Chain A
Amino acid sequence: MVGKAGRGKIKDTLFAGISGLAALSIIFIIIVMLYELVVGAGPALARFGWDFLTGTRWDPVREQFGAWPLIYGTLVSSFVALALAVPLSLGIAIYLAELAPPWLREPVAFLVELLAAIPSVVYGLWGLFVLVPWLRTTVQPFLGNTLGFLPLFQGPPLGMGMLAAGLVLAIMILPIITSITREVLLAVPSSQREAMLALGATRWETIRMAVLPYGRSGIVGAVILGLGRALGETMAVTMVIGNRPQVSLSLFHPGQTIASVIANEFTEGFNEMHLSALLASALLLFVITLLVNILARLMVWRMNKIPQGVSRE
């Protein structure tokens, strides 16, 4: 009997050790990646300093590198994607979790998850051959005629550009945000809903005042995961964004993102400084993603602290 318990103890220790190592490996991998990026980016950062962040020229031939247009393109395309995808995803998730008839729930949820399994290059090709022509012939002329006074919708309708990139990204992050939000809403205890209904609340009031606040931190997490995917997406974006490193307010104009410039130029890197500048952009993307995640943590943490008048189980 004692032997058996002792063996169990050894197994426990062994298991704890192995899983601890597995957890540590993540930290190790991140440190190694960061180290490699910093070492590789060293020459470019030493030469350009802060100008690397604010410079607007990207000229491999003359070794002039400024990443501001890339940072701008990365952030703008991702936020356009979020602006389009978040309301839609929330709508789908609420419908699926709260309102849809049971026979519809599973098939639609399955279809949404299927969207997540499509490789990004397929989205890119679809974007290039279907979305871009439609934008060029229909959407952009319409926006230009009706909302053309806004700086957002000016310039010749090329199809390719920031708007196309934002749309493709929106479709790509839709399934992530939707399926996580749906899981979060399903996890809201039914006692919450029952309590609201018992108080005489309508369906909409129940969702707005009991279900959504309860799941809020989870929903923010879902949005951040979607944003993370949008920031780092490479192939689909590079096929539709026009790949022109410029800062322009108009969503009709071509742009460039950090991830797509790396994918485009790394294999045929021009010289040492060019490669170093590309690694410096990678480091920048790393830092941006890190900041976004920290921000999200802070938001979730703050939200959980503020009592919202609903009980937490």
Chain B
Amino acid sequence: MESGKPGRSIARRVTGILGVLVGGILLAAVACAPWGEERRIEPGGKPPVHLLGVGASFPYPLYSKWIEEYRKFNPHVNIDYQSIGSSGGINNILRGTVDFAGSDAPMTDEQLARAPAPIFHLPSVAGAVAITYNLPGVDKDLKLTPQVLADIFLGNITEWRDPELTSLNPELDLPDMGITVVRRSDGSGTTKIFTEYLSKVSPVWAERVGTGTSVEWPTGIGGKGNEGVAGTIKQIPGSIGYVEMAYATQNGLPRALIQNRAGRFVGPTLETTTAAAAGAAVQMLEDMRVSLTDAPGEDSYPIAGYTYLLVYRDQHNQRRGEALAHFLWWALHDGQEHARELLYAPLPDNVVKMAEAKIKEINYKGQPFIE
């Protein structure tokens, strides 16, 4: 009994401290933003509108920025975007559990056929895949033709002093080293764009490996995420791999020049990516699904792709639909300004025009939100 008393009082004290802590956290949460802002009432006395989107992680930094900026522009619309991956985005929009979805790859015909109602593809920005490498003593950009690139990733070219490489880069002093291929180990839109490109330029690749977010790689080691690939390349002299253009630019990684369809060697930049988008717009389908890899055009960088926002054409809730249509319109115009700062390639004008037409079709009971 004697020993029980102090024990109990300690327990009580601990409970007390915990209580104060929990209370404090709750108070802090109440005092902080979203909650505070939600209490703001629209002029009409209506509560604010909440929109939920899920999907691709590649555009997540941009969408976060958009959401933050759009809140300043229109405080009565709260948008939430969760990056759970493109396939998660597509599954959720098909089930109708979200207002919009993000996806790095357009939906397949089979997926669209499963949709209960027409789904629109709206390209939001374009991105590109940079080929980066670790070559000691090489200070100028490496040049690669599509064929050589495919042969390296197929494991057919295994030495940097291979005649194919030295004849392409006579001005470079390529080291006497073996080539170590580094690629993404996690499923990603970046891999999808890269393998789609290799499938287009190399029949052998198309037949042996194919296109996908994860594929069976003929050679090489896998790093997780852009940082995993870049970190691995940095550590293994003689390695080559691919990362997102934005990541390569931010981290000052070397970027190879790739020969495009016009025969020119082009590096990955915002301009060459937008050029690819403009070049591919010619072949764009009416539903805006298009591949940007190996796009025509003098300045087009050949390993590029759109990231899409997926929305239903026919909205079931007037206020949410209206908020969504206006947000998309804003993203298509003002939003493009923010894209450049975050190293996403803005849409070319011809594509903006096409996307405008689509947004004008979004409607509630046949009544479009934007005329």
Contacts and interface: CB of A to CB of B under 8 A. Distances in A.
Interface of A: 57-62, 64, 128-129, 132-133, 136, 156, 158-161, 238-239, 242-244, 254, 260, 263-270, 274
Given A244-B217, A264-B187, A62 B235 contact: no
A264 B210 CA distance: 19
B187 A239 contact: no
B212 A267 contact: no
Contacts of A260: 185
A256 to B, nearest CB: 8
Contacts of A158: 180, 221, 236
Given A57-B216, A244-B217, A268 B186 contact: yes
B228 A60 contact: no
Given A60-B215, A128-B231, A269 B87 contact: yes
A284 to B, nearest CB: 18
Nearest to A269: B87
Q: By CB atoms of chain A within 10 A, which of B57, B180, B220, B221 has the most?
A: B221
A145 to B, nearest CB: 18
27 contacts: A60-B187, A60-B215, A61-B215, A62-B216, A64-B216, A128-B231, A128-B235, A132-B235, A159-B236, A160-B232, A238-B185, A242-B221, A243-B185, A244-B220, A244-B222, A254-B222, A263-B186, A263-B224, A265-B186, A267-B84, A267-B85, A268-B87, A268-B214, A269-B187, A269-B213, A270-B214, A274-B214
A244 B180 CA distance: 13
A269 B235 CA distance: 29
Interface string B204-247: 00000111111111001111100010011001100000000000
B196 to A, nearest CB: 11
Contacts of A274: 214
A129 B185 contact: no
B178 interface: yes
A308 to B, nearest CB: 37
B59 interface: no
Contact of A264 (B87, B88, B186, B221): B186
Contacts of A268: 85-87, 186-189, 213-214
A65 to B, nearest CB: 10
Contacts of A156: 178
A266 B213 CA distance: 11
A132 B221 CA distance: 13
B290 to A, nearest CB: 21
Give the top 5 A-B pairs by smallest Cβ distance, nearest first: A268-B187, A243-B222, A243-B185, A267-B85, A59-B216
